[in-house]
Structures are given as structure tokens and as C-alpha cells.
Amino acid sequence: MYSTINLIGSTKYETIFRELEEKLSLNGYLVFSPLVYNQSGNNPSCGLDKKLVLDNEANLKTNKSDIVFVVDVDGYIGNSTSNQIEHAKLLNKPILYYSKGDINKLIKELANC
């Protein structure tokens, strides 16, 4: 079982991130996830300079994670998330996608990684 998971994806899905944080934590995983949820889109509320800091932070979390879990509701993956996925691939991190199944099924899949 992998112990550390980095949740990445569009921060417009805060409710889903929170659900995943809770369910994964209660199943024994240490979870990294965004802590700022106003960074989506071309003109994020946090500002472009802060968005760059947060994108870099996401990559640092991936460096420390065993697995990356992409919150891609309806298959949506934005530019920042695409870049973070490429970073994870360069590090040969296993990557799971939220859109590929329900959370309970994905937790079982994590146990088999």
C-alpha cells in the first residue's frame, strides 16, 4: 500500500477534494492536496504570481508522494494539472484518475498498487 498521496486537479472541485481527503485519510493514507481553492482559470483570484507559487508547491508535494491522484471530474484536466501530471510521469509516480471510477473502487485499486 502507498502511504502518501498527492491530490492534483482543478481547484474548482473543492468539494470533491475535501471528500477524497477525508476518505483517503480514514483509510490510512497521508494526503497532500491544495490548500488554496481560488486558483482556477486564466485569471485566478489569487493572482498569476501566486498561482505559479502554488503550481510549484504541487510539484514539490508530488516529489514527496508515493502516488498521484488526479481529480479530473468528467475528464477535465487544465494546463496546470497537465503540467503536474507530466512532472509525476518524469518521476515514474503511479497516477490514478478520479474519472476512472468511484472513490471506493479507487481506494481498493490504491491498495493493489
pLDDT tens by residue, 79-94: 889 999 999 999 999 9
Quote the distance between the C-alpha of residue 48 and its chain's center: 20
From 6-20, 30-44, 74-88, the region with the lowest mean pLDDT: 30-44
Question: Which residue shows C-alpha cell 486558483?
Answer: 39
Tell me the mean pLDDT in the region 105-109: 72
pLDDT tens by residue, 47-89: 667 777 778 888 899 999 999 999 999 999 988 899 999 999 9
Burial class (CB in 10 A: 0-12, 13-18, 19+), 1: exposed
Task: Outline where DSSP puts E strands in 1-113.
Answer: 4-9, 30-32, 67-71, 95-97
Domains of the chain with CATH codes: 4-111 (3.40.50.450)
